[in-house]
Structure 1
Amino acid sequence: MKETMRCVVIPEPHKFEVREVPVPELQNEDEVLIQMKSAGVCGSDHHIYHGLNPCSTYPRIPGHENAGVIAKVGANVKNVKVGDHVIVDLIHTCGTCYQCKIGRKNVCEHVSVRGSGADGGWREYFTAPASEVYKIDDSVDWKDAALVEPYAIGAHCTARARIVPDDTVFILGTGTIGSIILQTCKAKGCKTVICCDIDDASLERAKAYGADYVINSKTEDVLLRISEITEGHGVTVAFDSACFPGSLTMCMQPGILCNAGRMVPMGFSTAKEEITQAMINQRELDVIGSRMSCYQFEPTIERMEKKAFNTEGIATMFIPFSQIEKVFYYMDHPCAESKKMVILFDE
């Protein structure tokens, strides 16, 4: 094994550096060393680079959608061995706070998130507690392995929303997460899923993933179309995966979300919105927060191994780690092909 490696550091917003640093050593016998093979580029990575993520600190090595190979194990490690393909959890938790004890470790009182509040996986090697890595069969292509974390988000937020087959679902935004929520809702048996976006190509992709109806909010009246589709009842569940200022208020308005409906915002926009107590209580709406995922990695990996997901077109651009500057170029100059980038580490 080589003694040094390349890593990517964001020292402050709008700047990045590629540094040559020592390969990290295990800090204790419960840790493993992971050689990175693929890493997804998330919208939150864009926000970290541009200084828009309220949860991030600097300097920071980004990357929370991490897949790799075990290169070294501590003496106490039993769950994985050298050579195993693994997915790395993005959260490190205390295990003792109220949230951890009730099964909500993703919002642990002391949660540390790789790639945001702690260093992530945009480097050739890094260490992690063995308890935070999960084996994945080596039949799964690295391009797909990098997508386990966003698919785990889809599993988590739909569980938080209490999705059942009788639900009529509205998804605002058909990017990566919106498309994954769509696939997850259909896998859970939802007969009616309505997708809304301003991009016709994204809406066509949503049709391929099983959307029953699509609405282009640039050219169509969203309220009118939902009224037509639902015969005036509105939807029972709305997911806001567009997450622009005002998008939450839009989804919650009468005519879109029905009385007793469930609203699931997916973003971290800090912009104030015109939401009142009356908007929630007059119709007894549930506004359900959803952050990352909780205990969803292993079931998601199992489904990925069974090829239960349609990953075709979820990732739209693959960039070698040796050309990492392209990732930041496309963060500053986005195009249709760069909607979802995956970094592939050099052999």
Structure 2
Amino acid sequence: MKKFFCLFLILTLMTVPCLTLADLHGRHDSAEAKAYIGRTDLTGLFTRKNEDYPFELVLPDWVRKSLTEMEIYEEIYKKVGIDLEEEVRLRRLSVKDGKYYINFKEKKIEKEVIRVLYKYGFSIKEISIIDALRIGGLNLLGFDIKDSRELHYFINIKIVELEENINIEDYSFLACFPNLKILGMENNNISDLTFLAYVNINIDTISLKNNKISDISILSKFHNLRVLYLSNNQIISLMGLENLKKLEKLYIDGNPITLDGLRYIEQLCFSEVLWKLHIDRKAFGEYGKHFALYPEYFQWVDRIYFYEDDGRVTEWRNE
């Protein structure tokens, strides 16, 4: 009888080959739960109805049951290279009631985050890591930010406006925004664009107006860029833009660009992807307003806005 029972048990187990010890005990191992978070993109871990709603964490029940709340967020931040326990040791974070809280030095940022969360329906006085992950965008125009490290906790950000913050020296926090789509950096006294190495290569829109930029070759890596603002800089050549096959709108008025420097957008014009261009009339030198004498590829752009010497803007449409 015992032999028959043992044989029956073996045959039963053989019919469920995917069964693990964790399943037999009705639970999963914490290492398995951590691995799940590690291999799942942030877009798979968080969801929201639209831009007017906060991001919410979505995890399978077995992951939530296998880890503590703090362990879950520790694993999430490891995805962007942030060790929350180390942040506590450095006193950038504190722990209260089993949650991580941000110790803000930049109080203007803290107030703006509280304002955004209030708009989402959360009334808080201190900002936890959970709250930071709810944020999808920040407008920090004119905040005069000096310590930018606190921004790296907002890893779900898709839009960040950093105009008029000339004292930012460390832009490494941008590497913690893997899904960033829109970056505003106007009026920041920028001359070197090497900081863009931190930016998500799939970004959609970049604004660099009113700076001191001359070399834009680093922009060549942003193959999904659709809108680019470069007005009022020191750009002579558009070398680097020739590979931006999805670029639709380009603002280059207020730059000492030469006809030779413009040739790098020739194929963008011929392909009819680039349909809107803002440019100074004086870039065409001796040709003046005789559009028929301009390089042929400009005739393939749907709309060109010429900035005249007297301050007027003349619109040309390809109709």
Task: Identify the structure with the greater strand proportion.
Answer: 1
Same fold (TM over 0.5): no
TM-score normalised to structure 2 length: 0.30
| TM-score (norm: length of structure 1) | 0.28
Greater relative contact order (Cα < 8 A, sep 6+): 1
